[in-house]
């Protein structure tokens, strides 16, 4: 029989245990296999939504997410049968307010003297805040946000309460800001952006960080689309104050897409998709403002996703083809080279011009594998023409467009070297064309890359010259050997005095720098004669030939069908 001192000690131990149990953030449970009962602490009941301390295992399992329950049952069965000694299972359980919470259940088994399992006891920890929060900003993550919007839509149907909206928000030019501030500064900017967004939110509204510099808000209160747009405008105003980091001051700008909730939405993903569609539309407008979702935006977004999937398949399955447009010596009318231009033989839509898929490839990054394929294919074709020995193919050069995304690749020079080595094309036969706009994002890195390409022996053309804002500066900073006059100036050269002056200035500038010039978009004899009179050495355009497949060019050259237009002065 226990002595009084032992009873007192036991009572004190139990009191301490009860206090620790109450203070713990974990719930504790004990499954009595003999009695068939499940006991749970108050915290266990709070997490699982069970209303009684004693219940059955089935009552607990009934609150486990259907996708997670089978695995939990298998692991509990293994404990009961003595095939496992411990349990560590993460699953979702529905709490009393209907929300799904992430929990980790841990347990050990207790046996009687015969070795039979009589009890399985353990703990239950709520991991929701860790599992469903963004590690950098502390905001809810996508999973939490989807769950929140799902419950909000349910409330909308139950109580006819649709006074809420989703706002898809992005920090414009974040990649450039991150480059200016450095990675640590970029992270601090995201943290600051999260704080500013939260500070503007009304009660019961939440902000979540989805990825990168993309946030989404579930805004409570707006009765109309205009109410939501007005709030979005105020949120944009809150970002007018500069963000300062280690001596750098930047003013971040927001673009916002708004989707007003309503009875047409039954799933959170639908409402989120419409907010994102509105955001995409706003970004295309480049106004750094607010756009509300309208009918048709989602369809266009879906078309874009379908086209992106088709383009990925096209790159894999060889649906892309190169056409070649001759570059001509305007003094002799002889072909001196070709510009490689990509086309897409789409299975349903036929032959697509680059304007219908290159912008998408640029946006998604698919331009990098597409560009690498195009460069290799163009080099292989030129090597085949060189080996053919026919004039003028034997000495022709190949011009290939280089996208801004490709120019940003740190291994670009190595990839160009690899293509030249694999195809056997001399570096001097390859010309890489770069537009002024592709140099803007990181001019210093681009300068380093282009110096390395120059050292390799590859020619460098500035494409669409005269259409940018830094043409003269770029001529001094980058090792271009050829300027390509944009077709917009060539089109007006005969009748527009200003176009003539611009073309003349470009020609004089090129002579001063010792550079070659190619005029793009020559479409008639008058334009050709004007360019010759001004001393333009080279050109290309439909007046000479449209872009053609290799077979068509072979036929033109081999059969003697290539009949260069006669200069007007000699006609």
Gyration radius (Cα) of the chain, Å = 34
Separation between Cα atoms, residue 8 and residue 4, nearest integer Å? 6
**What pLDDT shows up at residue 562?**
55
Which tokens belong to 491? Answer: 């089109």
Give the residue-averaged pLDDT of 301-306: 72
Do 373 and 312 touch, CB atoms closer than 8 A? Answer: no
CA distances from 400 to 110, 360, 372, 379 (A): 73, 19, 10, 9
Do 279 and 291 touch, CB atoms closer than 8 A? Answer: yes
Q: How confident is the model at residue 97 (pLDDT cuts 50, 70, 90)?
A: confident
404 burial type by CB count under 10 A (0-12 exposed, 13-18 middle, 19+ buried): middle
H or E segment to which residue 431 belongs: strand 430-435
Point out the least confidently predicted range of 89-98, 288-297, 408-417, 426-435.
Answer: 288-297
- Reported as a single tens digit per residue, the pLDDT across 149-174 is 998 999 899 889 999 999 999 998 88
Query: What are residue 552's phi and psi, to 5 degrees?
Result: -70, -40
CATH for the stretch 19-130? 3.30.450.20
Separation between Cα atoms, residue 439 and residue 445, nearest integer Å? 9
Do 435 and 463 touch, CB atoms closer than 8 A? Answer: yes
Which residues, at least 6 apart from 101, have a Cβ–Cβ distance to it below 8 Å?
A: 47, 92, 93, 94, 95, 126, 128
Separation between Cα atoms, residue 89 and residue 104, nearest integer Å? 6
Q: Are strands 430-435 and 459-465 parallel, antiparallel or unpaired?
A: parallel
CATH for the stretch 132-294? 3.30.70.270
Separation between Cα atoms, residue 400 and residue 460, nearest integer Å? 10
**What pLDDT shows up at residue 438?**
76
Who has greater pLDDT, 60 or 285? Answer: 60
**What is the domain partition of the chain in residue ranges?**
19-130, 132-294, 304-562
What counts of helices (H) and strands (E) characterise the chain? 20, 22
Nearest to 208 by CA among 250, 151, 148: 148
**Is the C-alpha dihedral spanning 44, 45, 47, 50 positive or negative?**
positive
- Reported as a single tens digit per residue, the pLDDT across 474-501 is 788 889 999 999 998 999 899 888 889 9
Query: What are residue 565's phi and psi, to 5 degrees?
Result: -60, 140
- Reported as a single tens digit per residue, the pLDDT across 43-62 is 888 888 887 776 788 888 99
CATH for the stretch 304-562? 3.20.20.450
Which tokens belong to 360? Answer: 């998408």
Do 255 and 219 touch, CB atoms closer than 8 A? Answer: no
- Count Cβ neighbours within 10 Å for each residue of 19-30 and write b for 16 or more, e otherwise: eeeeeeebbbbb
**What pLDDT shows up at residue 282?**
83
Any bridge partners for residue 460, and if so which? Answer: 432
Which tokens belong to 418? Answer: 């690899």
Residue 419: alpha-carbon gap to chain centroid: 28
301 burial type by CB count under 10 A (0-12 exposed, 13-18 middle, 19+ buried): middle
Q: How confident is the model at residue 568 (pLDDT cuts 50, 70, 90)?
A: very low
Q: What percentage of the chain carries pLDDT values higher than 90?
A: 39
CA distances from 136 to 140, 172, 188, 253 (A): 11, 19, 9, 20
**What pLDDT shows up at residue 44?**
87
Separation between Cα atoms, residue 347 and residue 344, nearest integer Å? 9
Separation between Cα atoms, residue 32 and residue 119, nearest integer Å? 5
Place of tokens 């919007």: 149
CA distances from 521 to 130, 181, 539, 546, 549 (A): 59, 42, 8, 10, 19
Q: How confident is the model at residue 182 (pLDDT cuts 50, 70, 90)?
A: confident
**Is the C-alpha dihedral spanning 422, 424, 426, 432 positive or negative?**
negative
Query: What are residue 165's phi and psi, to 5 degrees?
Result: -150, 155
Query: What are residue 541's phi and psi, to 5 degrees?
Result: 160, 175
Do 156 and 162 touch, CB atoms closer than 8 A? Answer: yes
Separation between Cα atoms, residue 526 and residue 540, nearest integer Å? 14
Three-state DSSP at 265 gives: coil
**Average pLDDT of the chain to the nearest whole number:** 85
Query: What are residue 159's phi and psi, to 5 degrees?
Result: -120, 10
Separation between Cα atoms, residue 386 and residue 378, nearest integer Å? 12
Same fold flag, 19-130 and 132-294: no
Separation between Cα atoms, residue 2 and residue 9, nearest integer Å? 11
Separation between Cα atoms, residue 80 and residue 86, nearest integer Å? 11
Residue 565 pLDDT greater than 60, yes or no = no
Separation between Cα atoms, residue 438 and residue 440, nearest integer Å? 6
Separation between Cα atoms, residue 386 and residue 379, nearest integer Å? 10
Q: How confident is the model at residue 420 (pLDDT cuts 50, 70, 90)?
A: very high
User: Between helices 367-388 and 550-558, what is the axis angle to 10°?
Assistant: 20
Angle at 210 (CA atoms; ends 209, 212), nearest 5 degrees: 85
């Amino acid at each position: 029989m226990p002595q009084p001192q032992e009873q007192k000690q036991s009572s004190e131990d139990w009191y301490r245990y009860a206090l620790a149990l109450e203070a713990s953030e974990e719930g504790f449970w004990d499954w009595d296999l003999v009695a068939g009962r499940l006991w749970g602490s108050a915290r266990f009941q709070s997490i699982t939504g069970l209303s009684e301390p004693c219940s059955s295992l089935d009552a607990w399992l009934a609150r486990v997410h259907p996708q997670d329950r089978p695995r939990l049952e298998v692991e509990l069965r293994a404990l009961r049968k003595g095939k496992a000694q411990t349990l560590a299972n993460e699953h979702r359980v529905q709490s009393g307010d209907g929300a799904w919470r992430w929990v980790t259940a841990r347990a050990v088994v207790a046996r009687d003297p015969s070795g039979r399992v009589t009890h399985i006891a353990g703990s239950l920890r709520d991991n929701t805040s860790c599992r469903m929060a963004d590690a950098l900003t502390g905001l809810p993550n996508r999973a939490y946000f989807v769950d929140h919007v799902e419950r909000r839509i349910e409330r909308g149907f139950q109580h006819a309460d649709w006074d809420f909206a989703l706002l898809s928000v992005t920090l414009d030019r974040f990649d450039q800001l991150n480059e200016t501030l450095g990675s640590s500064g970029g992270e601090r900017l995201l943290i600051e952006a999260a704080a500013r967004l939260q500070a503007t939110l009304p009660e019961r509204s939440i902000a979540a960080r989805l990825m990168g510099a993309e946030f989404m808000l579930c805004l409570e209160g707006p009765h109309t689309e205009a109410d939501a747009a007005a709030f979005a405008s105020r949120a944009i105003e809150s970002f007018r104050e500069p963000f300062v980091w280690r001596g750098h001051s930047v003013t971040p700008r927001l673009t916002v897409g708004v989707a007003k909730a309503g009875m047409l939405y039954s799933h959170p993903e639908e409402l989120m998709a419409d907010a994102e569609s509105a955001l995409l539309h706003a970004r295309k407008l480049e106004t750094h403002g607010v756009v509300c979702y309208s009918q048709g935006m989602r369809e266009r977004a879906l078309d874009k996703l379908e086209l992106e999937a088709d383009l990925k398949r096209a790159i894999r399955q060889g649906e892309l083809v190169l056409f070649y447009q001759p570059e001509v010596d305007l003094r002799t009318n002889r072909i001196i080279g070709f510009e490689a231009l990509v086309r897409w033989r789409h299975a349903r839509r036929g032959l697509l011009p680059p304007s219908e898929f290159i912008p998408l490839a640029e946006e998604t990054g698919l331009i990098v594998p597409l560009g690498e394929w195009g460069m290799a294919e163009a080099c292989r074709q030129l090597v085949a023409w060189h080996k053919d020995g026919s004039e003028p193919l034997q000495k022709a050069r190949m011009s290939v467009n280089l996208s801004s995304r490709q120019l940003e690749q740190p291994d670009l020079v190595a990839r160009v070297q690899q293509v030249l080595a694999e195809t056997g094309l001399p570096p001097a036969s390859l010309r890489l064309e770069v537009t002024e706009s592709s140099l803007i994002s990181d001019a210093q890195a681009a300068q380093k890359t282009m110096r390395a390409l120059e050292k390799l022996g590859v020619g460098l053309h500035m494409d669409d010259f005269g259409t940018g804002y830094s043409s003269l500066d770029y001529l001094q900073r980058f090792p271009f050997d050829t300027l390509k006059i944009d077709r917009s100036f060539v089109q007006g050269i005969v009748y527009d005095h200003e176009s003539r002056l611009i073309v003349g200035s470009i020609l004089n500038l090129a002579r001063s720098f010792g550079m070659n010039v190619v005029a793009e978009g020559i479409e008639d004899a008058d334009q050709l004669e004007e360019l010759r009179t001004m001393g333009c050495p080279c050109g290309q355009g439909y007046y000479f030939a449209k872009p053609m497949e290799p077979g068509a060019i072979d036929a033109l050259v081999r059969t003697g069908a290539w009949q260069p237009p006669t200069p007007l002065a000699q006609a």
